[in-house]
Amino acid sequence: MEMAEWTSRLKKRMTLLLSQTGQQTKNIKEKSWSYIMKHKKQSLSIAAGVLILAVAGVSADYYYTSNTYSIYHVYVNGEEIGVVNDPNVIHSWAAQKLKEEEEQKRGLKLTLADTISFKEETKFKGDFDNTAAITALSDIANIKVEAVKIVIDGKAIGYAASVNEAQAVLDKLKEKYAGNDGAATKKAVTTASLSEPAPVEKQVGIKEEVKFEKDTVTSAEVLSEDKLAELISKGTLKQVIHTVVEGDCIGCIAKKYGITSEDIYRNNPGITEDTVLQLGQQINVTAMRPLVTVQETEQVTQQEKVDYNVQIENNANLPKGETKVIQEGKEGSKLVTYEILKENGQVVDKKVLSQKVVQQPVAKIIQRGTKVIPSRGTGSFIWPARGVISSGFGTRWGKMHKGIDIAGSGAIAAADNGRVVFAGWDGDYGNAVIIDHGNGMETLYGHMRQIKVKVGDVVAQGKTIGIMGSTGDSTGVHLHFEVHQNGRLQNPLRFLR
């Protein structure tokens, strides 16, 4: 091969190699070529060797540089979980994961609760495994939601998805106990018509201090509106069951769980204070008490009756013990405005704010007799009834007729002053009354249709004691009248005037 041709080929080869290694070998190229051109023959083999070594060195440097790059150690809460070649691998996975979770969690705003950090390292042929790092992260990633913590009297009781949902739950509880829309309402009270109930002025609120605070929690801790309402109204979402062991009693069990015996009776229909507990028996000991108290203050105006007074007047002409109605009483009416306080639907306080009498009541007037009627008779009898004597005193139909019969149909009067010693059914006499006149004299009145006195009554001469009838052994309406003196039968006609 001609020298010129060999030189040309060598020049092209060097140019190609040096163009690949870059600007950093430019000086070597220039110096090597200059030396070769000056010592074409003597230095040809030396130049070629130097060139080969230079090219080899540049190629090794290029290989090392091209295989040295950055890798990133991934840390979760300070602990390394893997190595990736780009932090965006982790960022992209986290963004996609949160998006998927948000779609499943009613659009809640989610966030990674864990702290993810990276440490960069430049290393020759550094090892990384994106898939392994993502798998490790997915196993421990703690995804939380931005939620609203409900705090009642300083104690956190649950989490809602938003302030609106939390408020909606409280409004539903207000509505449950207070009716209407559960919100505070005011209406004017009018009294134009007594036939229609007056509108109600109502204030509704929560007795306890309720606060809403922002927080981040696991999505499982966020309750739906229904579950949150159940928790607040019952005090728990979990039912607690006790298994009876030897020595248990209702009071002992209640004390153990911090509830009352009434809670156990209410939770377990069929169990009473007299129930004998059995070993192994299951008892619901859940204490269901609302976590909030819905207070409802109402101003209610309603029409009420006003009782009438009873006035008593003495009447000296009326026998003592007797009364006479002079004027019937009549109830009045009034409008009364109450302030009523309810807690969870139960009235705990009620007070009168005002009242106005619309119609005055009319008093009932009764005259009371003050005339003293002596129980001792005068010894002179008046006729006890109007009518005709249908049968006299003495033997009749083969046996003794002990008195006289007066046929008629009117009232029967006491023949003289005295005290009633018998009033009721007396065999053949039917309905009968016996009066002791206090002077050894007694009178009997038989066959009455109606008795108008009772034992112990003191009656004046002429006082109505009954109505003629035909009770007992009788053949028609009449009065059978007897007179006894010191226990012996007498002919009544001897004493009647």
DSSP letters, 237-253, are SS--EEE--TT--HHHH
Kindly report the pTM of this predicted structure.
0.44
Place of tokens 């207000």: 174
The pLDDT tens digits of the residues spanning 171-230 come to 988 888 776 544 444 333 333 333 444 556 788 888 889 999 998 887 778 888 888 888
pLDDT number for residue 193: 34
Highest mean pLDDT among 4-13, 89-98, 127-136: 127-136
pLDDT number for residue 334: 95
pLDDT number for residue 196: 46
pLDDT number for residue 21: 47
Mean pLDDT on 367-395:
89
**Alpha carbon separation from 383 to 115, 393, 432 (Å, rounded):** 120, 15, 17
The pLDDT tens digits of the residues spanning 315-355 come to 988 877 789 999 999 999 999 999 999 888 888 899 999 99
Burial of 404 (0-12, 13-18, 19+ CB in 10 A): buried
Least confident of 48-57, 106-115, 280-289, 373-382: 48-57
At residue 127, what is the residue type?
D
Q: What is the CATH number of domain 297-371?
A: 2.20.230.10
pLDDT number for residue 127: 87
Architecture of domain 388-494: Distorted Sandwich (2.70)
- DSSP single-letter state for residue 274: T
- Domain coordinates in residue numbering, the chain: 3-66, 70-141, 241-284, 297-371, 388-494
pLDDT number for residue 185: 40
pLDDT number for residue 76: 85
The pLDDT tens digits of the residues spanning 259-309 come to 888 888 888 988 988 888 999 999 998 877 788 888 889 899 999 999 999
The pLDDT tens digits of the residues spanning 44-97 come to 555 455 455 555 555 666 666 767 888 999 998 888 989 999 999 888 888 887
Average pLDDT, the chain: 82
Least confident of 112-126, 144-158, 437-451: 112-126
pLDDT number for residue 48: 53
- Beta strands in 286-363, from DSSP E residues, in sequence order: 294-306, 310-319, 323-327, 332-343, 346-359
Mean pLDDT on 391-411:
91
Which of 199, 200, 195, 194 has its CA nearest to residue 358? 194
| Main-chain phi, psi angles of 40, to 5 degrees | -55, -50
Mean pLDDT on 439-462:
95
Q: Which CATH class is domain 241-284?
A: alpha beta
Q: Are 442 and 484 in contact (CB under 8 A)?
A: yes
Mean pLDDT on 400-416:
94
Highest mean pLDDT among 91-95, 391-395, 444-448: 444-448
Cα distance between residue 338 and residue 349, in whole Å: 10
Cα distance between residue 434 and residue 384, in whole Å: 13
The pLDDT tens digits of the residues spanning 22-40 come to 444 455 455 555 554 555 5
Q: How many helices (H) and strands (E) does the chain have?
A: 9, 28
Crossing angle (nearest 10°) for helices 26-38 and 44-66 = 170
pLDDT number for residue 58: 53
Pairing of strands 364-371, 310-319: parallel
Whether 489 shows a pLDDT value over 80: the answer reads yes
Mean pLDDT on 91-114:
70
pLDDT number for residue 151: 93
Residue 150: strand pairing partners: 158, 212
The pLDDT tens digits of the residues spanning 231-243 come to 887 776 667 899 9
Label residue 441 by pLDDT band (50, 70, 90). very high
Query: How large a percentage of the chain has pLDDT more than 70?
Result: 78
Per the rule left: phi > 0, alpha: psi between -120 and 50, beta: everything else, 468 is: beta
Q: Are 125 and 200 in contact (CB under 8 A)?
A: no
